[in-house]
């Protein structure tokens, strides 16, 4: 299913065509090259002071870690995410070198996550970000050190037909993508 964004002016095709599916092809496996390519895209994201406060946990379907990450997701996400070829957890370094809280690091995590999502799209794959997980469970599953907080899970895989889903996940899969109009969000300087 294509859900290309309707825009007032042309944007990069990879941005227009990206969307967050929940129906994944359970027979697709992600190659080592694709995994490396997505990790590299994340690594080369910009960050404040080039601090790179992100750490990655990548698990392919069929692995013990993939199952454990699924177990830490909230119920709705558990209904569809297990079929993703890979699950990637991004954890954030929560302290600066001087021991003070790393308050800005969430912005950097967002940038690395989007870099990875766009790279997945570029590879012909689809990514879906999830904040819906139980933090303490994820922390335990990944055996994270105290200076790391799990922030985001990204599912990555090959899109499948919406009919593989049921219930609310199916309804959301076939729903059109929506956004506020520019008039609603541009406070100053709309062309
Ligand atoms: C930080 C963040 C957290 C999200 N968490 C979830 C989630 O837990 N479960 C889910 O199904 N979708 C989640 N999403 C996906 C959003 O619902 C989705 O990006 C939004 O509806 C726009 O749809 P699109 O990405 O297809 O354009 C999350 C997205 C972001 C950026």
With beta carbons less than 8 A apart as the criterion, state whether 80 and 128 touch.
Answer: no
Per-residue model confidence (pLDDT) at position 54? 98
The secondary structure of residue 63, as a DSSP letter, is: S
Q: What is the pLDDT of residue 132?
A: 98
**pTM for this entry:** 0.97
Under a CB-based contact definition with an 8 Å cutoff, are residues 164 and 23 in contact?
yes
Q: Is the distance from the beta carbon of residue 117 to the nearest atom of ligand 1 less than 6 Å?
A: no
**pLDDT means over runs of 10, the chain (191 residues):** 94 97 98 98 96 97 98 96 98 91 94 98 98 98 97 98 96 97 96 94
Distance 36 CA to ligand 1 centre (A): 24
**What is the pLDDT at residue 98?**
86
Is the CB of 88 within 6 Å of ligand 1? no
- Cα–Cα distance, 127 to 155 (Å, whole number): 5
Whose tokens are 């996940």? That residue is: 169
Looking at the domain covering 46-173, what would its CATH class be?
alpha beta
For the chain, the domains span: 46-173
Q: How far is the CA of 189 from the centre of ligand 1 (A)?
A: 28
| pLDDT value of position 97 | 82
Question: In 3D, which of 47, 26, 167 has the Cα closest to residue 113?
Answer: 47
| Token pair 């699924």: residue | 70
Pocket flag, ligand 1, residue 5 (CB < 6 Å): no
Give pLDDT, residue 130.
98
Do 109 and 115 touch, CB atoms closer than 8 A? no
Q: 78 CB less than 6 Å from ligand 1?
A: no
Give residue 66's pLDDT: 98
């Amino acid at each position: 299913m294509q859900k290309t964004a309707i825009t007032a002016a042309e944007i990069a095709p990879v941005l227009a065509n990206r969307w967050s599916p929940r129906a994944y092809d359970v027979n697709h496996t992600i190659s080592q090259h694709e995994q490396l390519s997505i990790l590299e895209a994340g690594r080369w994201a910009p960050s404040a002071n080039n601090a790179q406060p992100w750490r990655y946990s990548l698990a392919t379907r069929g692995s013990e870690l993939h199952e454990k990450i699924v177990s830490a997701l909230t119920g709705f996400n558990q209904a569809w995410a297990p079929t993703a070829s890979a699950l990637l957890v991004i954890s954030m370094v929560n302290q600066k070198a001087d021991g003070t809280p790393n308050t800005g690091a969430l912005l950097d995590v967002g940038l690395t996550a989007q870099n990875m999502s766009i790279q997945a799209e570029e590879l012909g794959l689809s990514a879906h970000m999830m904040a819906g997980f139980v933090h303490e469970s994820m922390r335990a599953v990944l055996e994270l050190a105290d200076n790391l907080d799990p922030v985001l899970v990204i599912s990555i895989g090959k899109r499948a037909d919406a009919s593989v889903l049921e219930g609310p996940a199916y309804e959301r899969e076939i729903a059109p993508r929506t956004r506020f109009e520019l008039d609603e969000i541009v406070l100053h300087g709309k062309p």
